[in-house]
Structure 1
Amino acid sequence: MLNTLKKVSLLLLLTGFTQVALADGPATNTLDVDSEVGRGGLPVREDNPNELKVCADFDNLPYSNGKQEGFENKIAQLIAKDLGKTLSYQFWYDRMGFIRNTINAHRCDVIIGTVDGNDMLLTSKPYYRSGYVFVYRQDSGYNIQDWDSPDLRKGIIGVVGQTPPSRPLNDKGLLGNSRPYRIMRDLNLPPSFIIDDLVKGDIDVAVLWGPIAGYYAKKSSVPLVVVPAPEYEKENIHGKEYWNISLAVRKRDKERLAILQEVLDRRHADIIKILDEYGIPHVPVVEGDSVEKKGREKGDVIPKFE
């Protein structure tokens, strides 16, 4: 029985998941991914004009999961309902190969959230902007407002290795105080694992990407303080802390993007309301601040699996 479960788990990881649902209705998970469809030189899925087919992670809250509980699930539902389309999903773990095996294999057509100007995709106008934050326990008595705050030197700082906050921490001589976490999340751990370590006292401060930190701090069993980290791009170009976030389609899918852009524009207030309900920190979009326009060498793209 155990070997069978292991084989099923491996199959899920390698092939992804497909889920089909009405915009407001229940969904059914199946393992009906055809691994021969979408590969180079082979047939691709036929587009259904009545369907909004979204590419998403099966277990990556606050973004998405198989139960459609994430904020990107809610945005997808809003878009599908606005367009009068059936909402369906191609699930795949959001790590190396995600874009290749989902949207570029035509197994789905839309990614709800990616960095603006992602050069592998055609992105919409950004619909929100977020950044990295400091998170610490309220009962710690800390008062951390910037990279020079003395309280940053008092304890262990949890930070995902090679992400933008590692630059100011290095420049300020704080990497020796830090506990690095792998940039590729261990799928045996919940997406909340760094905040979990903060709550347990294994670390004293976390410097995390805002959507992840804000969501799990809001759900924490102990009160946590979330403080936006200052932008560090001018001091170190690779320390860029804030990013515009956009919806994305395939490079040549300009007509689909135009339709989706109209929904993003007219339902922007509703989308911001969803972000607020999930505790997602956000600031006004900065026009022209895209990876594509600034060049990939001028900053680090934020990982959704951090």
Structure 2
Amino acid sequence: MLKHVKKQIALIALLAVSANISQAAEPDIPSLNADEGRMGEVRRVVDESEFKVCADPDNMPFSNSKQEGFEDKIAEVLAKDLGRKLSYTYAYNRQGFLRNTLNAMRCDVVMSTTADNDAMRTTKPYYRSGHVFVWRKDSNFNITDWSSPDLRKGFIGVVDHSPATIPMDANNLIGNARPYRIQRDLNLPPSFMIDDLAKGDIDIAIAWGPIGGYFAKQSKVPMVVALIPEYETNNAKGKEFWNISVGVRKKDKERMAMIQGALDRNQDKIIKILDDYGIPHVAVVEGDSLAKSYQKYGASNKTQEAK
């Protein structure tokens, strides 16, 4: 019996080693040492000649390991402005992302977070986006707000527990909903909801603006994208628009000031990148946060065809 147990332990250890070797050999997704940064372990020393970004290796349109995302392009602009070498540490942006990247000193910059994220020191917002309605152009829908009759003509894809579910419920649209997981199944591409829309599995998609706008623009099936009107004054949990900032560690005041300067100097380039990727955006609302939930916004409801 003891001999059998020892064989099982040896087999498990062998499989674990093999898995680690396989992960380390993966060229597109550099592996992370799970012990790096823990007490008694070797810790990375920040190299001030680097602009080292914490990023997801498979999260278009934001970033990927080939540096094809719009955040990758914005990072290139900032690094060039600052005269620093751009480099990355990759980890899937899920639970523990900050703990295992920024706070473990494996990298120094998070390219996008909400401006009021108290887990990091954040820059002034460099863009603002909201949730969007997306539909196939050949549907001939005309959707401008939650009261639009065309919203009731088919299945609506929506991320479960996302802010948009609040006005959906208030407008008796939950019966039309086809929910998607709030944490993406990594076996599916980031475009999965818009892919389902293109196939006709759903008739309307409700998505965070950068995701809906980018994948609608990439789709071979012509799509229409419309920003959803702000709902925060009706219900704070239904907030649709968010200011987006760059984040660093709380203690990194000098790094923050340096990045802020680069953002200020390159705002025109950043807006062009957003437009090139089909990212819907509106004017930044100064001082916006969920805590100020009943502030009224002047952002207009814009509709655009994804070309």
Give TM-score, length-normalised by structure 2.
0.86
* Correspondences of 1:284-299 after superposition (within 5 Å): 284-291=283-290, 294=292
Q: For 1:1-35, what per-residue CA distance to the aligned partner results, in whole angstroms no more than 9, with x for missing partners? A: xx98xx659974xx9x9xxxxxxxxxx75746332
* Correspondences of 1:1-306 after superposition (within 5 Å): 8=19, 12=23, 31=30, 33-40=32-39, 42-291=41-290, 294=292
Q: For 1:238-295, what per-residue CA distance to the aligned partner results, in whole angstroms no more than 9, with x for missing partners? A: 000000000000011111000000000011111111100000000000000035x548
Letter in 2 for 1:150: P
Give TM-score, length-normalised by structure 1.
0.86
Distance 2:234 2:285 in 1: 19
Structure showing greater Rg: 2
Extract unaligned runs of 5+ from structure 2: 1-13, 294-307
SS of the aligned residue for 1:88 comes to: strand
Indicate the residue corresponding to 1:298 in structure 2: none
SS of the aligned residue for 2:146 comes to: coil
The root-mean-square deviation of aligned C-alpha atoms, in Å, is 2.3
Matched residues, percent identical? 58
SS of the aligned residue for 1:133 comes to: strand
| Equivalent pair of 2:131/2:206 in contact (CA under 8 Å) | yes
- After superposition, the Cα gap between the structure-2 partners of 1:226 and 1:253, relative to the gap in structure 1 and judged at 3 Å, is same
SS of the aligned residue for 2:107 comes to: coil
Cα distance, 1:43 vs. partner? 4.4
Cα distance, 1:42 vs. partner? 4.2
- After superposition, the Cα gap between the structure-2 partners of 1:241 and 1:9, relative to the gap in structure 1 and judged at 3 Å, is farther
Distance 2:117 2:208 in 1: 18
- After superposition, the Cα gap between the structure-2 partners of 1:40 and 1:122, relative to the gap in structure 1 and judged at 3 Å, is farther
| Equivalent pair of 2:194/2:216 in contact (CA under 8 Å) | yes
Distance 1:154 1:101 in 2: 44
